Structure 1
Amino acid sequence: MPKPGSHNLALKFQQVVDSSPAAAALLCQGQCYDFRTLNALANRFARWLAAQGVTQGSIVCLELPKLVETYALAVACLKIGAPYSFLDPAAPIDRARLMIDRCQPTIIISTRDGAGNRVVLASDADRQNLLEAIEAFDDANLRETEQITGADPAYVMFTSGSTGEPKGAVIPHQGVLHLVEWAADDLGIGPGDRLTNVNPIFFDNSVFDIYAALLNGASVVALDALKGRPPAELIAEITASECTFFFAVPTLFMFLDSMNLLRPDKLPSVRRFMFGGEGFPLARLRRFHETFSGRAELINCYGPTETSCICSSLVITGSTLETAEGFVSLGRLNPGFSHRVLNEDLQPVAIGDVGELWLGGPCVGLGYLNNPEETTWRFRQDPLVKGYRSTLYRTGDLVVQDPRTGQFRFRGRADNQVKLRGYRVELEEIDHALESMPGVVRALAVVIHDANGSRRLLAAYAGSRLEDADLLAHCRHLPAYMVPGRFVWLDNIPTNANGKADRRAVAALIEQSQTMARSPRSADKPVAA
């Protein structure tokens, strides 16, 4: 639980500054900034934002790469109670406009021109001009920071969800404070640690990177794993920065492994690896575990954006890998979370049966920004509580709880559950089946409409190019209606901006290949799954 006197994130940060002002807080673009310096910069930015008309409750959009100004501006927003939203500066203009329209921000600080009250930081000269402008403001802590409560919004994080339309989850201070305390108490993060911020800053995994570090007296190391950047360069930077904790999506770890870079001699300072955001295929995870056994700890974590980043975790051991499941367990829920596992009729399922996970507690977000329809659908009154308000977030994740350990196992997405020939099919189960075959690195099943309008089940895979007959034989343990009718080999499974495997992009690639093989009139249309 959050400690007394730290009822908001800014006060928690100031406590760390007071206790270790000269300790390294941020390593960014070859520079090291201590806590005193970062705090002073944030205080100046906070007063500058106020001079631009930003007040408590105003939205500030930060459409910036990983600069010291970016991190300082986020802390500045926390200090004056103005929720910030990190936006991808490389996102398509139309998508960026949708997110900005949702935010209705008081100010946008961006690397690119556009509409609205916008400060552009497109060059070193722009950055220098801004830094000179804020020199006129006091760098002492602000009195108004005391007035911000744990229930007030801290930031807005956009997530596509199942529809592909960006939704801005509004997350309160108290949710991140619980995350920070869990990082300290369960993961042991504290002074002396250096956490990678490889995750995109506009992706919710970065919330852990930044605040589990800064608010526990550790350092955050700003890194980029951009497409086109030599992966060896990223690994060398992690090692040179002496990072002790490396958090990323499984896709990145598997890519580094395929490049022979995920090895103890390449990452000698890393003592703990954590992964989340998508499943880690079991065969690849076993290899990862064997490679670092006795040298570093591996942690599987789970948590929707809407519940303050992480809600459960599991330390990987030899025994956790002894399973016939496609993925390891999600572990048990962290302190501060309540839950229900409900069926389609919103009734509890028996322990051991599959149902949708609903989450409650102070880490649950405040809804979607300016999106009442989606808020009403996802942030719901606990159907088993009638006498008072009790809000739960329905995750859309299907799980089963182990009656012996209380741990949860993932059973797919409710929105990835499709119906074929009258049967309900979990696409993730097909993914798992293919990924258990030697030579397959990654696989995603998709459903498309063929030229006649019929629904067809196909699967794309990356890794060694295999014979269709061998793939078909490997899938024979699946029910006949779950066996893909076609297998498509790809050099690489496409990923989205957050680095996760992208099922929609796979469907689009398959559809495109089929369009090229026949007249445009009869082109298949991909089904979002």
Structure 2
Amino acid sequence: MISNIYEFLDKSVAKYPNKTLFVSGKNCINYLEFSHKSSALASKILEFGLNKKPVLIILPKSIEALIAMFGVARSGNFYSIIDEKMPFERVQKIINILKPALIITARDLDSSVNEYGADVIYSDEFDSFELNLSLLSRVEIIDTDLLYVLFTSGSTGEPKGVSISHKSVIDYTFWVSKTFDVGSDEILVNQAPFYFDNSILDIFTTVRCGATLHLLSTFEFAFPAKVVEYLKTHGVTMIFWVPSVLIYFANTRALEHQELKTLKKVLFCGEIMPNRQLNIWRKALPNALYANLYGPTEITDVCCYYVCDREFGDDELLPIGKACKNTQILLFDEDNNLITQPFIKGELCVRGSSLSLGYYGDRTKSAQVFIQNPLHNNFYDPIYKTGDIAAYNEYNELICYGRLDSQIKLNGHRIELGEIEAALNSHPQIKRSACKFTGEKIVAFYEASRDIDKIREFLSKKIQEYMIPKIFIRLDKFALNANGKIDRKALDDKL
């Protein structure tokens, strides 16, 4: 029985000690070296006398950041990793919530770290640390201990620390490995930043299965042709990227005339994936498996999945499918009545071992979304209210229409902005779109190389008249947030 994620590493080290685990640019590290360095770092952390305390990691995506994450986990403490370019004011807000007992960072990022009032370990010292088996042997970790706290803003802009246990990541990793048949011969390329929960699949699945993971920076994904060439050169077999990146690659025709013979699994998650661009990928790589994964940070990355097993029109919404193993999806209407019939929309809620243990240091916010199961009150049975609108289709598959806060009421009609965006995204000249509601009218933003005539006429054939936006604004390119999604807040400045 696995009680903590470090046991994944121990087992893979025993099988594949000299195999390359992580690759970052010209740097690489094998399983044995990685285990030694992270255990040595854990020994150093234990010298500070820490036990089940928060450790803040401020490092760029790198092998050093991974050593820090596993070192903290091995020491029996839990980590929180943040963007090294995050503004000081927001870092201070996170510090105030987390109250880290230790900070791991790089010397060139040390401009203000001394103001945080915590002990500091620098990444350039990692090689000087020595294993202390006596200290490590005293570490006790059970699966309900925290592994990490990832900070997310949500709609308020205020940091919320999502607390995830070892057990949740263990269950998730076993599910990923089995569902997508991940083996030791797998070669993955990581796109998500480590402070974004999509990276959890890449990192822990790789370690558990004895596979190899390549790290690419956000900057590199601005050059799709080079990334595609990288996939080909390194024989990459599996990717798990946000839809915005897949959309960008499709829109720039990066897949044309490319033979990615080794790429057999294309997984995506983080936002709604338009079928028009997905169909470009499916045409370019017809023999690959495509899977749409869905889930907020609060449920350990993913709670639903759909393996694409049929063709879809460009203007259709791609299903999010069914619940992952050991997870249950519940749809409730506004009166907390359970929805089981198709085509009736409700809020998607989740229960199971994947659930976060709540927002770190904030019981009030936790109580608002981690609630008692409305179906009974006989024992403690928490569910997470995702804030997403979903319904079952005729195949009993879940369809996600977007956020509850993107559901509007206009002239007596309830409208999901996500449905309008899906229709816009099916236009052959529109690369992607986003809609905003001002309180009086719907405004549609779309990315295209030139203004498009007769958009209203195009939409009138796909959605009802009352759903058609009043204003259309063309953008050369959408601004993306740090996770690679459309930065919807930035659109407010263009209204």
TM-score bucket of the superposed structures, by smaller chain: over 0.9
Q: Which amino acid aligns with 1:70?
A: A
Q: Distance in 2 between matches of 1:91 and 1:228?
A: 20
For residue 309 of structure 1, what is the aligned residue in structure 2? 301
For residue 291 of structure 1, what is the aligned residue in structure 2? 284
Q: Report if aligned partners of 2:260, 2:285 keep a CA contact under 8 Å in 1.
A: no
Query: What pairs with 1:330-409 in structure 2 (closer than 5 Å)?
Result: 330-352=320-342, 353-402=344-393, 405-409=395-399
For residue 142 of structure 1, what is the aligned residue in structure 2? 136
Q: Which amino acid aligns with 2:57?
A: L
C-alpha displacement of 1:42: 0.7
Task: Percent identity, please.
Answer: 27
Gaps of 5+ in 1: 450-454, 512-529
Query: What pairs with 1:216-255 in structure 2 (closer than 5 Å)?
Result: 216-226=209-219, 230-255=223-248
Query: What pairs with 1:101-500 in structure 2 (closer than 5 Å)?
Result: 101-110=96-105, 111-114=109-112, 115-117=115-117, 127-128=123-124, 130-135=125-130, 137-138=131-132, 142-145=136-139, 147-226=140-219, 230-263=223-256, 265=258, 267-294=260-287, 296-317=288-309, 319-321=310-312, 325=316, 327-352=317-342, 353-402=344-393, 405-448=395-438, 455-468=440-453, 470-477=454-461, 478-500=463-485
Of residues 105-114 and 374-383 in structure 1, the stretch that sits farther from structure 2 once superposed is: 105-114
Q: Report if aligned partners of 2:242, 2:270 keep a CA contact under 8 Å in 1.
A: yes
Q: Which amino acid aligns with 1:456?
A: K
Among 88, 97, 107, the residue aligned to 1:93:
88
Q: Distance in 2 between matches of 1:305 and 1:337?
A: 15
C-alpha displacement of 1:141: 9.2
Q: Distance in 2 between matches of 1:361 and 1:235?
A: 37
Q: Distance in 1 between matches of 2:393 and 2:33?
A: 48
C-alpha displacement of 1:406: 3.1
Q: Report if aligned partners of 1:235, 1:266 keep a CA contact under 8 Å in 2.
A: no
C-alpha displacement of 1:119: 6.8
C-alpha displacement of 1:322: 5.1
Q: Which amino acid aligns with 1:355?
A: G
Q: Which amino acid aligns with 1:104?
A: K
TM-score, length basis structure 2: 0.93
Q: Which amino acid aligns with 1:406?
A: N
Q: Distance in 1 between matches of 2:78 and 2:380?
A: 25
CA 1:131–1:78: 2 relative to 1, 3 Å:
closer
Q: Report if aligned partners of 1:425, 1:482 keep a CA contact under 8 Å in 2.
A: yes
Q: Distance in 1 between matches of 2:51 and 2:422?
A: 49
C-alpha displacement of 1:259: 2.8
Q: Which amino acid aligns with 1:36?
A: L
Q: Report if aligned partners of 1:109, 1:118 keep a CA contact under 8 Å in 2.
A: no
CA 1:323–1:444: 2 relative to 1, 3 Å:
closer
- Deviation per CA, 1:67-120: give whole Å up to 9, x if none: 222101111111122111110111222222222222111112232432224577
Q: Report if aligned partners of 1:209, 1:247 keep a CA contact under 8 Å in 2.
A: yes
For residue 52 of structure 1, what is the aligned residue in structure 2? 48
Tell me, what secondary structure is at the counterpart of 1:215?
helix
Q: Distance in 2 between matches of 1:195 and 1:305?
A: 21
- Deviation per CA, 1:298-345: give whole Å up to 9, x if none: 22111111111112222223x2425853x2111111101022110111
C-alpha displacement of 1:268: 3.8
- Deviation per CA, 1:475-516: give whole Å up to 9, x if none: 2243333221110000012211100112221222x23xxxxx
CA 1:175–1:198: 2 relative to 1, 3 Å:
same
TM-score, length basis structure 1: 0.87
CA 1:230–1:432: 2 relative to 1, 3 Å:
closer
Q: Distance in 1 between matches of 2:135 and 2:282?
A: 45
CA 1:368–1:88: 2 relative to 1, 3 Å:
same
CA 1:54–1:117: 2 relative to 1, 3 Å:
farther
- Deviation per CA, 1:43-74: give whole Å up to 9, x if none: 11111112234322x11111111222210111
Tell me, what secondary structure is at the counterpart of 1:440?
coil
Q: Which amino acid aligns with 1:475?
A: L
Q: Which amino acid aligns with 2:143?
A: G
Q: Which amino acid aligns with 1:387?
A: N
Q: Report if aligned partners of 1:54, 1:106 keep a CA contact under 8 Å in 2.
A: yes
Gaps of 5+ in 2: none
- Deviation per CA, 1:216-253: give whole Å up to 9, x if none: 11112111122795443333333333321111111111
Q: Distance in 1 between matches of 2:286 and 2:240?
A: 17
- Deviation per CA, 1:348-395: give whole Å up to 9, x if none: 123211111111111111001112221001111101121100011111
C-alpha displacement of 1:264: 7.0
